[in-house]
Amino acid sequence: MAITAGVVAVQGDVSEHAEAVIEAAASHGEAAEVIEIRESGLVGECDVLLMPGGESTTISRLIHREGIASEIREHVAAGKPVLATCAGLIVAANDAGDDRIETLDLLDIRVQRNAFGRQKDSFEAPLDVDGLDDPFHAVFIRAPVISEVGDAEILATWEDRPVAVRDGPVVGTSFHPELTGDHRIHDLAFFD
């Protein structure tokens, strides 16, 4: 039996996440079927969900307009896993610090968009992540800073700032775990 993984595909990077979840499933001897979610009515078929990076204001607007936002909330209320990365993390947070973003309140965190500073628009860093034996090579692209953490577990920090968190079935990262061919974060989010 294959697991069904949904990638919220209204905007942003989709195909790399699809590959990463397929590889993570294969490392557990499972097959994954990936569906791209651009409309309502599909989330209910999914065992796991990915909320990719992109532009958080656009993603927020489109998932509410298409009726996908409430379905993602129902998925999490049923205890099913979500991996939310970069813009996905911003949309999944409790507070995005930006009125244009209607957050989903899935992660008990406050974020600040694009807050690592101009000189750090984009950077890479070896991260120690709770649950992984070796450092994870993390790629940050106009990444959000997690400025406050409420009732969520911090999985990794960079320069004393949380950059990966877990809140129940939801794992969120400031960075892009799908870009390096290392599927261990997908593994952690979905198969642990």
The site that binds ligand GLN (CB under 6 A) totals a number of residues, namely: 11
What minimum distance in Å lies between the beta carbon of 55 and ligand GLN?
5
Q: Which stretch binds ligand GLN (CB under 6 A): 28-36, 54-62, 68-76, 151-159?
A: 54-62
Task: Answer yes or no: are the C-beta atoms of 162 and 138 closer than 8 Å.
Answer: no
Q: Among this protein's residues, is 46 annotated catalytic? A: no
Among 64, 73, 80, 113, binds ligand GLN (CB under 6 A): 113
141 is a site residue for ligand GLN (CB under 6 A): yes
Nearer to ligand GLN, 33 or 102 (CB): 102
Q: Which stretch binds ligand GLN (CB under 6 A): 15-23, 39-47, 52-60, 164-172?
A: 52-60
Nearer to ligand GLN, 142 or 161 (CB): 142
DSSP the chain: --EEEEEE-SSS--HHHHHHHHHHHHTTT--EEEEEESSTTSGGG-SEEEE--S-HHHHHHHHHHTT-HHHHHHHHHTT--EEEETHHHHHHEEE-S-TT------EEEEEETTTT-GGGSEEEEEE--TT-SS-EEEEEESPPEEEEESSSEEEEEETTEEEEEEETTEEEESS-TTSSS--HHHHHHHT-
61 is a site residue for ligand GLN (CB under 6 A): no
Nearer to ligand GLN, 86 or 106 (CB): 86
C-alpha span between 107 and 148 (Å, rounded): 11
Among 87, 93, 155, 165, binds ligand GLN (CB under 6 A): 87
Among 90, 93, 127, 164, binds ligand GLN (CB under 6 A): 90
Residues at the interface with ligand GLN (CB under 6 A): 53-56, 86-87, 90, 113-114, 141-142
